[in-house]
Structure formats: C-alpha cells, structure tokens
Amino acid sequence: MPQRIGSAVTGKVVQRLAAATALDGAPVVTLNVPAEMAEKSDLVTYPSVNVYCEGIANELHEKFRSFSGKVHMAIEVRYSQDRLEGLQDQLELYLDGAMGVLNTSRGDWADGMFYGGEYEVSIGPIKKGGKNFIQTAKITFEIGVSRN
C-alpha cells in the first residue's frame, strides 16, 4: 500500500508541474538521484526538475481508514551553465515557477489527497559539474492522504 501511495502522489505533483508554463519547458521527471550520479548517465539535461517521495507516514488520524497520514514530497530543481555569473538568478526563475505551481495548488487534489499550502525551500551552493557549474534547490512539502 505505501508504495502505491507514494507513486500516486508523485504522479499528481508531476502532472501539475508538467502542465505549468512557468517552468519554461524544463523536463519534469520522477527521479531521486544525486546530480553527480545523474551526470554519469546520458539522460541528464539542464535545467531539470526532479520530483520524488521522501517518506510516508501513516498516522491513522481516521480510525477506519487503512491509510490516513502524510506523504513527504520533494521537488529538486537543478540548473547548470558555463559561467558563475547569473547562475543563481536562473535557478531562482525555475524555483519561482515551481513554488508558483504549489501556491496555486492548495486544496483538494482528489483521490483522497489534500495540499495545505506549506513548503520549505533550501538552496545549495554552486559546485563544479554539469556544463561547468551547477546549483540545486529543493522544495519540500507534505500532502495529506486519506484512503481505504
């Protein structure tokens, strides 16, 4: 049951992000892999938006449901370019787009899912990688789920 819940919530988040024009065509994928490892594959492109489930908590708030709790989600935005100048500004454009999607997605998501609107953002330091330099930002948030 928890695997299907995590996948179902991830699918809903991807669906909302993929439909957003604010992300300017950046590919939205369901992948939880460090940037260093992703670069060793031929699949990586920049900017990238990775969506994944970080954890599932069945808190049994509703007595007769098999699952009523929270799904901890993450949206990780990665941006890379060949110069340091303007790198964080470009990353923040995509980050703002993802936050905008969350801001307009408060409420009932159907299928027993609900988003309250809270999220937390962390922005990592610039590192060597990608097209020369890479920077990553991560948005974490919770989706309430109530299912039989």
66-104 per-position pLDDT tens digit: 999 999 999 999 999 999 999 999 999 999 999 999 999
Quote the number of domains for the chain.
1
Q: What is the mean pLDDT of the chain?
A: 92
More confident call, 130 vs 119: 119
39-48, 81-90, 117-126: which range is least confident on average? 39-48
pLDDT of residue 1: 45
What's residue 3's pLDDT?
52
What CATH number does the domain containing 106 carry? 3.30.70
What's residue 148's pLDDT? 86
Pick from 12-16, 38-42, 67-71: least confident: 38-42
Of 63 and 141, the structure prediction assigns the larger pLDDT to 141
Q: How far apart are alpha carbons 101 and 22 in whole angstroms?
A: 8
Secondary structure of the chain in HEC code, one letter for each residue: CHHHHHHHHHHHHHHHHHCCHHHCCCCEECCCCCHHHHCCCCCCCCCEEEEEEEEEEECCCCCCCCEEEEEEEEEEEEEEECCCCCHHHHHHHHHHHHHHHHHCCCEEEECCEEEEEEEEEEECCCEEECCEEEEEEEEEEEEEEEEC
Domain of residue 108 covers: 2-147
